[in-house]
Amino acid sequence: MNKGNDKLVERLRSNTERGSILWRLVRPVVRPVWSLIHNRDYVSDYDRDYYLYHGCVLPPREMRGRLGASFLADGFYLESGIAEARRLAARLAYSKSSLVVDIGCGLGRLATGMLWEFGDVQYLGIDSNPVFAEWCREHIERNHPSFRFIHLDVVNELYNPAGKIDGDRIRLPLADATADIVYLWGLFTNMGPEHVRIYVSEMSRIAREGSRIFLTAFVEENVPEVSFIPKGYVPYECVKPLQCVRYSKEFLFSIFSRYGLVVEEFRHHGGAFPSQSEVYLRKEKVAA
């Protein structure tokens, strides 16, 4: 990553940690005060289907808050998306002809950053949350048809507990060897090992030979292979299933290797968000 983007990520990391702490402190006061002033429940952002910020269409803050307290700030949400788009060009061999597949795209944060940086380019976002996918189709895909969004109705205890497709039967809606870049921000932080194996297999299947893959995960050395909600590991309260899933480095990297993915770089706690590590992978070329 270039120095300018490193500085941006460092600023985002600092703001994330401060925002998480601040939100926990002020949340019990802000919501009742807001309701008293406006004489209504604190759900009004759903009345606004989107926000305009510096010419960009952003999701309503209540929806963004489900991704983390830091995303409530319009500036932070947009800047973090731009930083991720710049990562594609700086580290993942992105060009305007590249097809980027964003697995676990959420509310289209990466897509928003790509529109800012690159304009109308090839992008496919996939998410298990039907509300998130519908918002992206309505407010991003409708105006930028080269940006496509698909709801994959797969079961996830945290984001889509009523899903109809079990994770063991997942198949991503792409042909073999079609993606130039596969991007998974935060997907494995909320996923058990049986489904991680399936997703790694699938992202290897859809990636072209020599293509790049980027993901973030909770990864440590000298820990059990898998830990669900390890005590004190993240600076926020974990009360829901799969809210924090941590993997041992050896265990996770062995899964990558099994499916022909080479680790090019591992940045321990290198992300802008607490305890998340960054993993850069390359799909191996098959010898002739």
Q: Which two tokens stand for residue 170?
A: 């997942």
Instruction: Write the pLDDT tens digit of every residue in 5-20.
Output: 666 656 555 555 555 4
* Residue 201, burial from CB neighbour count under 10 angstroms (0-12, 13-18, 19+): middle
Mean pLDDT, range 159-186, rounded to an integer: 91
At 24 the pLDDT is 52
For tokens 């596969």, the residue is: 182
Residues 6+ apart with CB under 8 A from 86: 1, 2, 4, 5, 8, 113, 117
Average pLDDT, the chain: 87
Its sign, for the CA torsion 281, 282, 286, 288, is negative
Highest mean pLDDT among 44-48, 161-165, 203-207, 236-240 belongs to: 203-207
Instruction: Write the pLDDT tens digit of every residue in 228-278.
Output: 999 999 998 898 879 999 999 999 999 999 999 999 999 999 877 889 999
Q: Which domains does the chain have, with CATH numbers?
A: 3-283 (3.40.50.150)
Q: Which two tokens stand for residue 258?
A: 């099994």
pTM for this predicted structure? 0.83
Give, in degrees to the nearest 5, the angle at Cα 251 between 217 and 155.
55
At 19 the pLDDT is 54
Residues 6+ apart with CB under 8 A from 29: none
Higher-confidence residue: 47 or 224? 224
First to last CA, the chain: 32
How many other β-carbons are positioned within 10 Å of the β-carbon of residue 51?
15
112: left (phi over 0), alpha (psi -120 to 50) or beta: alpha
Q: Could you tell me how many residues make up the chain?
A: 288
The yes-or-no verdict on residue 129 having pLDDT over 80 is yes
CB distance 211 to 182 below 8 Å: yes
Separation in Å, CA 156 to CA 185, 188, 208: 16, 12, 27
CB distance 244 to 189 below 8 Å: yes
